[in-house]
Structure 1
Amino acid sequence: MKARIILSTVPAMTMQWSRLLSAQRLGHQGAEPVTPARNPFQKDWDRVVFCSAFRRLQDKTQVHSLPESDYVRNRLTHSLEVSSVGRSLGAQVGQTVLQRADTKKLGAAAADGIGAAEFGHIVAAACLGHDIGNPPFGHFGEATIQHWFRSGPGAALIGELGPVEQRDFLFFEGNAQGFRVMTRLQNWRDAGGLRLTCATLATFMKYPFGSVAADPQKKKFGHFAAEAMLFEEMAGNVGLLTLGEDRYARHPLTYLVEAADDICYSVVDIEDGFKLGRITFAEAEERLKGLLRRLPPRYVEIADETWKIAYLRAKVIGDLIDLAVEVFLDHETDILSGRFTGDLLSQTAMAPQLDAIAGFTRQRIFETRERFQTEVMGGEILTSLLAAFCDAHHALELAGGDTVSLAPRQRALLRLMPLPPRGDATRYDWLLSVTDFISGMTDTYALSQFQRLRGLQ
């Protein structure tokens, strides 16, 4: 028999698990029943897997753009691995949360059907979509789009927008684009995106605020102005705490999504670097061993170096999962009240080793001549695409929606858009449609479109 989530009598300034695990789908009325065979959060996972935006991650930069080795992870394989780790994190946390809830007997009535597995399914589904809004060429692509609107030709285009709308482009964010993809762009004919549960969407939301509340240094935010009402509906449904004007506390399970992503980055970057020949076996082995609480006896039985690294990687991930769960459970009260700061892994005993690995991989794996050459190419591609498609839309706006007066090239560019451009679209709306189109491209498709623009194909 499954444990029950109890409605708590704790103070109002604490988030409650009974609401945080809401199975209500965004845009729907009433929660979907949680059944043992296939619960709503498993359906969320399925919906993300089968959407086209997720499939395109197979050809989007993870760390290495257009890598020379098929072994090296791309954003799709990375997302699947993060989802796997997230499922374990969620299930382990859920088991203890449920035990504590029953032990404390915090009140009456519960969300029947919620068990430890459901915690895992929510985190797994959120992890699966955590990179779904990233543009071509990874974080360099994000920075390129931001720069184009900040000091490139895009600066003049956003000059007539309101300050909040301007910030959406000045600080263009893959996280906000991901929320837009899942709540609006995918399955657009149904005017509701993937219709995921509010629990999954809130867990996905790493930065629960819009661009106006973004940190001046990090410039990270979770939704564009266009999705503000969708965000408010979601936040209200799961009961996120407000932390002042325009800001909310994270959904507690978001910390597990972040931890799953950090675990996979830290560990698999070492494995990928070894497979690419950028670090030696001894360097990889030393750093992975340093993340283990103890070296498994079976390790000495493995002769092949590749299998040794793979074995260490698996064991390290297991240890880091356990450590992250311990930190979460130790700080559950602070997390539920919005007082927890930082991330889970930074408060584990392995934090110094993880920081050292981050510095090592940045120097030895990421900052390479090949990567810089690819980034130069990616920058040229994205700025050219932005200029071409924005020019065509701007011309349509100036022509009052009449395509007859447009240059033939501009009309052709508009026909390449996934949806026919609306002549009455606002400046903000058509700029979003351009960034939707370009950020949704794969690395290879962006390259081919650039070559066609230049007459190279």
Structure 2
Amino acid sequence: MDLNMIYTNIRTGAQDSAGAARSAYQRDYDRIIFSSAFRRLQNKTQVFPLPGSVFVHNRLTHSLEVSSVGRSLGSIVGEHIVREYGSSLTEESKDFYLHNLSNVIAAACLCHDIGNPAFGHSGEDAIASYFDRNEGSLQGFFKPEEWADLVNFEGNSNAIRVLTQQQVGKDAGGLKLTYSTLASIAKYPCEALAKDFSKKDLHRKKFGFFQNEASTFKEIADKIGLLKISDTPLVYRRHPFVWLVEAADDMCYNIIDMEDAHRLGIVKSEACEDLFKELIEASGTSSKEKIEGKLSQIQNANERISYLRAKAINALITIASEVYITHFQEILSGRLNTSLLDIFSKKNDTLKKIEKFSIQNIYRHRAVVEIENAGYNVMYELLDHFVPPILKDKNKRKNYDEMALQLLPQQFVYEGTEVSHYQKVLGVLDYVSGMTDNYATDLYRKIKGIDIGMTI
């Protein structure tokens, strides 16, 4: 891939005039920050849903922190690209890598989870399994490639839709982000039929766009120079910037989930401290003596973990940027098939220890699993309330079907002779997947008759 051709300020929808004070990529960041889809992340589960009075991370705070880490990675890598490849770069490209690559990565990190539904991964599972469990009554409404989208529902592919879809009554182009930012969140640049269930191909582990957005993704891929593997099914290699977004996300959830679990009392201080210190020492970014000297001045348990968390993330930024630079030519050619932190883990198993500890002590903790089960049922039942009525012909809908559909906001109702069943269901998914944890729970309780009363 040509370093002069893998970025562009072209954006979805009508092109707007450039503001003198901000680059196109800074405007991406600002548009995401001010969007309603981003604001809703403040009440969407990261790991610990609805934790009560203890403040832990939600999807919004997680995204902000990932964006901060991503900005650092973009700055480090951008400086390296100009230093090592400057002779083959245009002046415009030098300016981009020095001053705007960091903005692209920060913006992409900010919106990388914007397509995730309420209740974390259990929300994703509920949507996918709703269609899978109702295959007999629903599959006949859809083409095979459309059905694959539904039974494999993915927050990653939904993010592309949230960011680019024109809802009823709204402007074309969605948030109108640059193709550079949109390409940077496409961890799995393929359609659902190309999903690799063996998970041997990293870029096909999941899928990255719905059939409805396939033409939009093709346009992005063509303009930004993605390497195409096949047309049927449609599969591309990852964009080089994706690896930095993925690394920023990986390091934040690996470390910060531990910090949250400690704050909730799920993980003991000693275990958390030991794992963080081992990681910092393995990175070579700080000596054991310096760490212990600083900890000797901090008595508060939460502050001790916060200090080690900061040091651990700094260590991982150094590690990830070094791995990226080492494997840069493999990344440009599309040959790399292992995430940056997994490459580090093959040489040092400290991160694997943290992942294994988290699975056993955090993600399988009874309190987490109980709420995940509840969230799964909420999302499943909401879909069951809206999907069957929307698929019925208008003249065959009963009164209870019409009442159900009256609860759908108009921007999510796609009707008309040219609208397919697939597009109608996507409208329902736009509504349900966009709900916050609290909103989904409240609506579920009302339609099930658990809470009865007027809400204005």
TM-score, normalization by structure 1: 0.90
Aligned residue identity for 2:358? T
298-307 vs 226-235, greater mean Cα deviation: 298-307
Q: Compared with structure 1, are the counterparts of its residues 413 and 262 closer, same or farther at alpha carbon in structure 2 (3 Å cutoff)?
A: same
SS in 1 for 2:88: coil
Q: Compared with structure 1, are the counterparts of its residues 351 and 195 closer, same or farther at alpha carbon in structure 2 (3 Å cutoff)?
A: farther
Instruction: Find the aligned partners of 1:239 and 1:115 in 2 and give their Cα distance.
Output: 17
Q: Show the counterpart of 1:304.
A: 300
Alignment pair present for 1:434 and 2:431? no
Instruction: Find the aligned partners of 1:117 and 1:109 in 2 and give their Cα distance.
Output: 12
Q: Show the counterpart of 1:81.
A: 65
Instruction: Find the aligned partners of 2:35 and 2:184 in 1 and give their Cα distance.
Output: 19
Superposed displacement of residue 160, structure 1: 3.3
Alignment pair present for 1:276 and 2:264? yes
SS in 2 for 1:19: coil
Deviations 1:6-36 (A, max 9, x none): xxxxxxxxx122221211112456x97696x
Deviations 1:137-165 (A, max 9, x none): 111111111111112x3552122321111
Q: Show the counterpart of 1:40.
A: 24
Equivalent pair of 1:92/1:116 in contact (CA under 8 Å): no
370-379 vs 122-131, greater mean Cα deviation: 370-379
Aligned residue identity for 1:303? Q
Q: Show the counterpart of 1:175.
A: 156
Equivalent pair of 1:34/1:113 in contact (CA under 8 Å): no
Q: Show the counterpart of 2:50.
A: 66
Instruction: Find the aligned partners of 1:434 and 1:69 in 2 and give their Cα distance.
Output: 32
Instruction: Find the aligned partners of 2:25 and 2:223 in 1 and give their Cα distance.
Output: 16
Superposed displacement of residue 443, structure 1: 0.9
Alignment pair present for 1:192 and 2:169? no
Equivalent pair of 2:108/2:185 in contact (CA under 8 Å): yes
SS in 1 for 2:165: helix
Equivalent pair of 1:142/1:172 in contact (CA under 8 Å): yes
Instruction: Find the aligned partners of 1:131 and 1:201 in 2 and give their Cα distance.
Output: 12
Superposed displacement of residue 408, structure 1: 2.9
Q: Show the counterpart of 2:454.
A: none
Pick from 223, 241, 244: which aligns with 2:227?
A: 241
Instruction: Find the aligned partners of 1:264 and 1:186 in 2 and give their Cα distance.
Output: 32
Equivalent pair of 1:149/1:155 in contact (CA under 8 Å): no
Superposed displacement of residue 370, structure 1: 1.6
Pick from 191, 194, 217: which aligns with 1:231?
A: 217
Q: Give every structure 1 segment of 4 or more consecutive aligned residues whose post-TM-superposition deviation is greater than 6 Å.
A: none
Deviations 1:68-101 (A, max 9, x none): 3441101110000000000000111001101112
Superposed displacement of residue 412, structure 1: 2.1
Equivalent pair of 1:210/1:224 in contact (CA under 8 Å): yes
Aligned residues: CA RMSD: 2.0
Alignment pair present for 1:422 and 2:422? no
How many residues matched?
432
Equivalent pair of 2:54/2:264 in contact (CA under 8 Å): no
Q: Show the counterpart of 1:213.
A: 194
Superposed displacement of residue 381, structure 1: 1.2
Aligned residue identity for 1:355? K
After superposition, residues 137-148 of structure 1 pair within 5 angstroms as: 137-148=119-130
Superposed displacement of residue 413, structure 1: 1.8
Equivalent pair of 1:60/1:74 in contact (CA under 8 Å): yes
After superposition, residues 90-109 of structure 1 pair within 5 angstroms as: 90-102=74-86, 105-106=87-88
Aligned residue identity for 1:271? E
309-318 vs 237-246, greater mean Cα deviation: 237-246
Alignment pair present for 1:253 and 2:236? no
SS in 1 for 2:177: coil
Q: Show the counterpart of 1:455.
A: 449
Q: Compared with structure 1, are the counterparts of its residues 78 and 360 closer, same or farther at alpha carbon in structure 2 (3 Å cutoff)?
A: same
Instruction: Find the aligned partners of 1:310 and 1:155 in 2 and give their Cα distance.
Output: 51
After superposition, residues 392-431 of structure 1 pair within 5 angstroms as: 392-395=389-392, 397=393, 401-402=394-395, 406-419=397-410, 420-424=413-417, 425-431=419-425
Aligned residue identity for 2:306? A
Instruction: Find the aligned partners of 2:77 and 2:17 in 1 and give their Cα distance.
Output: 23
Equivalent pair of 1:25/1:32 in contact (CA under 8 Å): no
292-301 vs 353-362, greater mean Cα deviation: 292-301
Q: Show the counterpart of 1:8.
A: none
Deviations 1:24-71 (A, max 9, x none): 112456x97696x41111110111111111111111111112113441
Instruction: Find the aligned partners of 2:168 and 2:386 in 1 and give their Cα distance.
Output: 23
Instruction: Find the aligned partners of 1:274 and 1:334 in 2 and give their Cα distance.
Output: 38
Q: Show the counterpart of 1:6.
A: none
Deviations 1:358-393 (A, max 9, x none): 110111111122222212222221121111101221
Superposed displacement of residue 437, structure 1: 1.1
Aligned residue identity for 1:308? R
Pick from 357, 374, 377: which aligns with 1:377?
A: 374
Counting aligned pairs with the same residue, the percent is 40
Q: Compared with structure 1, are the counterparts of its residues 351 and 41 closer, same or farther at alpha carbon in structure 2 (3 Å cutoff)?
A: farther
SS in 2 for 1:243: strand
Superposed displacement of residue 276, structure 1: 0.6
Alignment pair present for 1:366 and 2:363? yes
Alignment pair present for 1:21 and 2:39? no
SS in 2 for 1:371: helix
Superposed displacement of residue 302, structure 1: 1.8
Equivalent pair of 1:131/1:174 in contact (CA under 8 Å): yes
Equivalent pair of 2:279/2:312 in contact (CA under 8 Å): yes
Instruction: Find the aligned partners of 1:269 and 1:127 in 2 and give their Cα distance.
Output: 17
TM-score, normalization by structure 2: 0.90
Instruction: Find the aligned partners of 1:384 and 1:427 in 2 and give their Cα distance.
Output: 20
